[in-house]
Structure 1
């Protein structure tokens, strides 16, 4: 990942996004109902928060977002609840649903825009540009990317690709299921985050999230373990996590290389994800 590529790709990313149906500018973005925490964060970042009339429960950053009425969880929305808010636009992440509810809302004539998701730095740029195009704030999003995002990508590139740095094996734990850690495989937000920080995901033999037994985790010998703040609570505290039978014998636990951060900040693929990746990349180089 090199910053010069992103400087050249900013406007290309706009074309990639805006050519898609979901990134087409809508006729009236004055009353936006948001289904997805990363979208809410971006709307605040480009100062479009006055257009928000409601958010889902993953939209808790910035803290001011919590003052809006809630439409529930992004994957289990209610058409009646959303329509009662008289929105002019439903703006959602790619897992917004269920499909039957989305189709019901579309039949009312209200614009529904689903923002494409890609678990990479390029994907974050595309997401910001897509949102800007949908709500008619393309100039603002381009300026935000140039001023705020590209410098952070340059900083991340510095830490994640330092010369003489040996790539570390990193596993990402979401929580516990029947006593086994739930770990991110390939094609997950966790896998994308691990790649962003310049690590290797040793859990590449399976897709999605799944409970993994102690033998598999120990044999993968992770140098670093990442866990969401909510996932850490499932273990109890950091000491309990480090002494868990699945983790205690790993290099990460032995060397005190287990780090916990807010899950949405790491896995939401918003501007905060870049900040989180910089934070973790610095720790990996300590």
Structure 2
């Protein structure tokens, strides 16, 4: 049920178990260029960095690389994760079929070339673009109507029939591996930049992200290792899941200097149906959730009525951390911002 490349949705092989999966926060990315704001590595700056990260939650905007937008040098031939070689000759009309991919394209400075979006691209710069998904499935007709010159997808994008129809129309479709952990951020950024003919911009963005991630991780308080359970809930659909190994959230929790409760209690799948026994065994000190997920069960009071929650340290102390939908598991330019927020909020007493 991990949704590494499609925020709000598990991969298709787990689609029956949950409607979506992404925890995020709607805030601006840190700084521009390789010397972006927020690269102070002093641990004492954690609260300041987190406060800065949350100043623009309503804006939900991106900060592109400094300087003039890059000019694609094409054609290029790249490897596609579906085993094909794809030649991109024109990047004047780009269509990313994933919110995290779209975020990278915009941050590279190519946002004015993007002609549409899928439902997971929720940031401000993309909100007025035509939507090409119905529910979470790609509409080939909607894509073709926008006349894209290159389409960026990932292995979880579907249905396959729609991708085949787009490719059969002569449009290059570059398929990417999903990003499921911090280590995937630089690889995905590099592949997108190469496919669009702007490899140097990709290097600059990776440099910025790397510096900001290092600063965020350096701010972890020494000696603090709280146990955090990531719960995905949709009360209206009776979906109650706990994250475990490979959920994506486990990588972020670890980067924030905490322990993933699901992993520590032996959950070896990305998501497992939530039980009171599992919660009592995990004993999380903090519960991490989507804000919409918490709303769906009636807020904190409603969450405490879920069997097993009250018996955990997190439930007894009402230590519930919520982040808005949109960024966390997209693993992109704003991931350092997510770590800043988590470092500040999960280590509070």
What TM-score, normalized to structure 1? 0.84
Alignment of 1:69-88 (within 5 A): 69-72=130-133, 75-88=136-149
The answer as to 2:213 corresponding to 1:153 is yes
SS at match of 1:245: coil
* Contact 2:78/2:87 (8 A) holds in 1: no
Which structure ranks higher in relative contact order (CA pairs < 8 Å, sequence separation ≥ 6)? 2
Taking structure 1 as reference, are residues 19 and 171 closer, same or farther at Cα in structure 2, changes over 3 Å only?
A: farther
The gaps in structure 1 that reach 5 residues or longer are: 4-17
| Regions of 4+ moved over 6 Å | none
Inter-partner Cα distance in structure 2 for 1:24 and 1:149: 27
The equivalent residue for 2:233 is: 175
- Give 1 or 2: higher helix fraction: 1
Q: 1:28 to 1:90 in 2, by over 3 A?
A: same
Out of 95, 109, 127, the residue aligned to residue 156 of structure 2 is 95
Q: Shift of residue 244 of structure 1?
A: 3.4
RMSD over aligned Cα atoms: 2.4
Between the aligned partners of 2:86 and 2:212, the Cα distance in structure 1 is 28
Counterpart residue number, 1:281: 343
Q: Which residue of 1 aligns with 2:258?
A: 199
5 Å matches for 1:16-55?
20-22=79-81, 26-55=88-117
CA contact (8 A) 2:300 2:318 kept: no
Q: Quick check: 1:59 aligned with 2:117?
A: no
Using the size of structure 2 for normalisation, the TM-score is: 0.69
**How far does residue 285 in structure 1 lie from its aligned partner after superposition?**
2.8
- Structure 2 unaligned segments of length 5 or more: list them: 1-40, 42-76
C-alpha displacement at 1:57, in angstroms? 0.8
**Superposed displacement of residue 181, structure 1:** 2.7
Is this contact kept in 2: 1:93–1:117, CA < 8 A?
Answer: yes
When the two structures are aligned, how many residues end up with a matched partner?
Answer: 266
Deviations 1:128-150 (A, max 9, x none): 1111111111112222232x312
| d(CA) in 2 for partners of 1:42, 1:273 | 11
CA distance in 1, matches of 2:154, 2:332: 11
- Superposition deviation, residue 210 in structure 1: 3.5
